Structure 1
Amino acid sequence: MPTKIEKDAATGTDTTGHEWDGIKELNTPLPKWWLYTFYACIVWGVIYTVLLPSWPTLSSHFGGTSGWTRRGELAETLAAQKAGQADTRAKIVEMSIADIRKDPALMGYVQAAGRVAFADNCAGCHGAGGAGAVGFPTLADDDWIWGGEPEQILQTITYGIRNNNENSRISDMPRFGADGMLTKEQIADVADYVLSLSGTQADAAVLERGGVIYAENCAACHGEKGEGMHEMGAPRLSDAIWLYGGDRKTVIETITYARRGNMPAWIERLDPATVKVLATYVHALGGGQ
């Protein structure tokens, strides 16, 4: 219950006027050092909210009178780093990948920068280290759809595959089943023949029928023995390496509906130096030809 303010007999300090069960609260002043610190914090808080980004507004926030932002500071740091790398990146753009690989200093830069660029732009589809995934080619083996030579890899990364860029790589497998070009029985026969190219056994009569269908419809792109053709973007069929799966059901599905995966033209998203770094890095993953 509130009581009147009085002086405590023991300490000589005024009370606050409050008492609980006979216990009176003293009105002990705060230390001056604490008060001065408190006031200084208030002053600093006012200065901070004036100079730096602070109060929210209906559409954004007050940007501060100093013009400083953390984003701006980061942009300046990145710009400084980029400027420091300008000579190196200019060399990379001008040199061939073969010559870059002969330069230990440039390759050290490529390995570091390429690892970051690959993780940011490529690993989401092609997996860490180029391990690949269903529908996304492995980049660490020797099986290449469009060719694994350095300049072929650069071309693929630069302009992509089946996109709107005028220089994009284009291949267009027919939908043999969906468009009525082959019957289900014919597709089944040619699927068994295709699987036989990589060692799968099948009935001789089936293989004979499938071989005829393959020669008439598939060999022009995939080769007479399934060796593939880089110029056509036609995968090899004789090595048991499958982009979408090598079981009979999946092969039949591929022949019936075709596969038309696409890849961006990275030159539209990345600068030429980064594209060259990525091409050099991918070639060095272990599968470059």
Structure 2
Amino acid sequence: MSGKHIDDVSGVETTGHEWDGIRELNNPLPRWWLWTFYLTIIWAIGYMFLYPAIPLINGATKGYLGYSSRADVVAELADAKAAQGVLLEKIAATPVEEIASDQELLQFAIAGGSSAFKVNCAQCHGSGAAGSAGYPNLNDDDWVWGGTIDQIYLTIAHGIRYDEDPDTRFSEMPAFGDILEAEQISEVTSYVVSLSGTPSDPSLVDAGREVYVENCAACHGDNAEGLADFGAPRLSDGIWLKGSTEAQIASQIRNPKHGVMPSWVGRLGEPTIKQLAVYVHTLGGGQ
């Protein structure tokens, strides 16, 4: 066996490997680095023993300390719920129209309602509650079923045209395509458009007013301001639920679309419904 080779320049022992006359120096790692490396191995073994670490078929090793991040989350949620318990009980016991008189309760209800809205309502009404075609904008001052906090509460709690809830809000506009002549539909469409804009044929407005009085005023009101008791929207402004063009308005008169909103009280519970009602009422246009 050949003896150790020492590099002439550095005086360091070589490994014995040589490439094209170049020898590899056998410089040892610094002691601090080796000890750090050994400590990480010891730390890893200790961590594996104390905490969940090794995946198994139906779970993982529990660890000597029995720590669980899931259990921590459950405990934190329980603590948060306990902290909210007093206010939730107070909301449950307070009529929804009286919540605004208690500033602490009002702030809590708005925060809770905002959170519940994002989880349950934003899918239809939008994250900012601006709605879209067929889904009401909750930021304006047009309320199909009324904008008082009690009316908003009833709408959220029992839904609209939701057959599974016997207390649901219900109304249906008849299909006037089966009742009126095509010319009458054009006339009443022109009249409705004239309430907030200029129809394509203003000469039809007067005749359309007569058609409106005879067929539409009973629900939408003599001045087209809408009647919340019937769920009949206001027609006298520029806010539209099903579309604002003459073609869309005529289509709605001829063969109306009726939306459905589910009942939420059985899913979310009374306190959450009250918080939602308070939050929606504060968005704007509340009565």
Classify the TM-score, shorter chain.
0.7 to 0.9
For residue 19 of structure 1, give the secondary structure of its aligned residue in structure 2: strand
2:96–2:150 contact (8 Å) kept in structure 1: yes
* Matching of residues 81-160 of structure 1 within 5 Å: 81-160=80-159
| Corresponding residue of 2:168 | 168
Q: Structure 2: which amino acid aligns with 1:168?
A: T
| Corresponding residue of 2:77 | 78
Q: Structure 2: which amino acid aligns with 1:110?
A: A
Offset, 1:144: 0.7
Name which of 223, 227, 234 aligns with 1:229.
227
**Aligned: 1:44 with 2:48:** no
1:192–1:206 contact (8 Å) kept in structure 2: yes
**Cα distance between partner residues in 1 of 2:3 and 2:89:** 81
* Cα separation, partners in 2 of 1:14 and 1:104, compared to 1, 3 Å: same
Offset, 1:279: 0.8
For residue 24 of structure 2, give the secondary structure of its aligned residue in structure 1: strand
Range with greater deviation from structure 2 (23-32 or 241-250): 23-32
Q: How big is each residue's C-alpha offset from its partner over 1:197-216, in whole Å with a ceiling of 9 and x where there is no partner?
A: 44545767633543444344
For residue 18 of structure 2, give the secondary structure of its aligned residue in structure 1: strand
1:194–1:237 contact (8 Å) kept in structure 2: yes
Name which of 271, 279, 282 aligns with 2:280.
282
| Corresponding residue of 1:268 | 266
For residue 269 of structure 1, give the secondary structure of its aligned residue in structure 2: helix
Q: Structure 2: which amino acid aligns with 1:104?
A: Q
Offset, 1:51: 5.0
**Cα distance between partner residues in 2 of 1:68 and 1:213:** 74
Q: How big is each residue's C-alpha offset from its partner over 1:145-204, in whole Å with a ceiling of 9 and x where there is no partner?
A: 111111111111122223343132222223333xx4444333222211222344545767
* Cα separation, partners in 2 of 1:36 and 1:95, compared to 1, 3 Å: same
Q: How big is each residue's C-alpha offset from its partner over 1:209-243, in whole Å with a ceiling of 9 and x where there is no partner?
A: 43444344433322233221212211111223211
1:160–1:266 contact (8 Å) kept in structure 2: yes
Q: Structure 1: which amino acid aligns with 2:33?
A: W
For residue 130 of structure 1, give the secondary structure of its aligned residue in structure 2: coil
**Cα distance between partner residues in 2 of 1:52 and 1:264:** 46
* Cα separation, partners in 2 of 1:203 and 1:17, compared to 1, 3 Å: closer
2:156–2:263 contact (8 Å) kept in structure 1: yes
For residue 259 of structure 2, give the secondary structure of its aligned residue in structure 1: coil
Offset, 1:247: 1.9
TM (norm. structure 1) is 0.82
1:5–1:16 contact (8 Å) kept in structure 2: no
Offset, 1:83: 0.6
**Cα distance between partner residues in 1 of 2:245 and 2:125:** 21
Range with greater deviation from structure 2 (142-151 or 214-223): 214-223
Q: Structure 2: which amino acid aligns with 1:173?
A: M
* Cα separation, partners in 2 of 1:13 and 1:86, compared to 1, 3 Å: same
Range with greater deviation from structure 2 (149-158 or 211-220): 211-220
* Cα separation, partners in 2 of 1:51 and 1:241, compared to 1, 3 Å: same
| Corresponding residue of 2:192 | 194
| Corresponding residue of 1:185 | 183
Unaligned stretches of 5+ residues in structure 1: none
* Cα separation, partners in 2 of 1:175 and 1:47, compared to 1, 3 Å: farther
Aligned Cα RMSD in Å?
A: 3.0
Q: How big is each residue's C-alpha offset from its partner over 1:252-289, in whole Å with a ceiling of 9 and x where there is no partner?
A: 12223312222232223323222211111211222110
Question: Identity of paired residues, percent?
Answer: 46
Offset, 1:87: 0.5
Range with greater deviation from structure 2 (76-85 or 187-196): 187-196
* Cα separation, partners in 2 of 1:243 and 1:34, compared to 1, 3 Å: same
2:176–2:255 contact (8 Å) kept in structure 1: yes
**Cα distance between partner residues in 2 of 1:163 and 1:91:** 29
Unaligned stretches of 5+ residues in structure 2: none
For residue 188 of structure 2, give the secondary structure of its aligned residue in structure 1: helix
Corresponding pairs, count = 284
